[in-house]
C-alpha cells in the first residue's frame, strides 16, 4: 500500500486545525453550541467519505465500483476486480484511469455467438435442448500492472458479457483475438 497522504487525510487535518483555531477565539454562547468540535469532526468525516466514494467509483456515486485501482510510488498499479461482470463502459472508464500510468487498455467486443480462436469453450444444454457455449471471466485476484503493460478485455454478445481479461507485457506481445463461431463436438 502507498504511504502518500490522501486528499481525505489532508482535509481532516485542515478541518481539525480550523476546529482548534475556532475554539481559541471567543464566541458568543448562542453560536458556541452550533460549532462544537464533535460536529465539525463529524462533518469532516462525512466529507472525507463522500470524497473517497467519488474518487473510487467508475460511474455515478450510487454505483458499486466493479474494480479498485491502487497506484504505487514505483509507477505500478494494482487492479482488483470486485465484480466479474464489469461492463464495457466501466472497462473504458478503467482505461481512462490507467492511461496516465502508461498502461494501455484494449476493449474488444465480439459479435453474438463468437469467441476468440483457441478459447476453451464449455457447452451447456438449454431447456429447449440446444447446446450453447458458456464463457467465464476470471480475474479475481489482484493484478499488478507496470507502465508499458497492456490490459485486454474481450467481451461477447455485442458487449453484453465480459468474457476474458489478459495482461501482456507490451503492445508487441498482444495476441490478436481471431473471432470464430464455436461448434460443439459430436454435433
Q: Is residue 104 part of a domain?
A: yes
The count of residues in the chain is 187
**Confidence at 85, pLDDT banded by 50, 70, 90:** confident
- Tell me the C-alpha distance between 48 and 46, whole Å: 5
The alpha carbon dihedral of 125, 127, 129, 130 has a sign of negative
Element (H, E) at 144: strand 143-145
Question: How far out from the chain centre does Cα 143 lie?
Answer: 12
Please, which residues bridge with residue 179 across strands? Answer: 116
Per-residue pLDDT, averaged over 6-14, amounts to 70
For residue 129, pLDDT beyond 80: yes
User: Cell 500510468 appears where?
Assistant: 101
For residue 141, pLDDT beyond 50: yes
Poorest-pLDDT segment among 58-62, 146-150, 181-185: 58-62
Phi-psi region of 94 (alpha: psi -120 to 50; beta: other; left: phi over 0): alpha
pTM reported for the whole predicted model = 0.57
Q: Is residue 185 part of a domain?
A: no
Are 96 and 149 members of one domain? yes
Are 85 and 167 members of one domain? yes
Contact residues for 97 (Cβ-Cβ < 8 A; gap 6+): 58, 69
Domain that residue 86 falls in: 67-180
Are 75 and 19 members of one domain? no
Domain count, the chain: 2
Are 50 and 101 members of one domain? no
Among residues 18, 34, 56, which one ends one of the domains?
56
Are 167 and 78 members of one domain? yes
Are 51 and 112 members of one domain? no
Poorest-pLDDT segment among 34-38, 114-118, 129-133: 34-38
Amino acid at each position: 500500500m502507498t504511504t502518500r497522504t490522501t486528499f481525505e487525510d489532508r482535509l481532516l487535518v485542515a478541518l481539525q486545525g480550523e476546529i482548534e483555531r475556532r475554539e481559541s477565539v471567543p464566541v458568543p454562547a448562542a453560536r458556541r453550541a452550533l460549532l462544537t468540535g464533535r460536529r465539525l469532526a463529524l462533518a469532516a468525516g462525512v466529507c472525507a467519505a463522500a470524497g473517497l466514494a467519488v474518487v473510487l467509483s467508475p460511474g455515478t456515486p450510487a454505483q458499486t465500483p466493479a474494480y479498485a485501482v491502487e497506484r504505487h510510488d514505483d509507477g505500478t498499479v494494482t487492479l482488483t476486480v470486485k465484480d466479474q461482470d464489469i461492463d464495457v463502459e466501466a472497462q473504458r472508464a478503467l482505461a481512462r484511469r490507467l492511461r496516465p500510468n502508461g498502461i494501455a487498455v484494449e476493449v474488444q467486443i465480439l459479435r453474438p455467438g463468437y469467441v476468440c480462436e483457441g478459447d476453451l469453450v464449455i457447452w451447456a444444454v438449454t431447456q429447449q435442448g440446444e447446446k450453447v457455449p458458456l464463457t467465464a471471466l476470471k480475474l479475481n485476484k489482484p493484478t499488478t500492472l507496470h507502465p508499458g503493460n497492456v490490459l485486454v478485455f474481450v467481451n461477447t454478445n455485442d458487449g453484453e458479457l465480459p468474457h476474458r481479461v489478459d495482461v501482456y507485457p507490451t503492445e508487441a506481445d498482444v495476441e490478436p483475438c481471431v473471432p470464430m463461431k464455436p461448434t460443439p463436438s459430436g454435433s
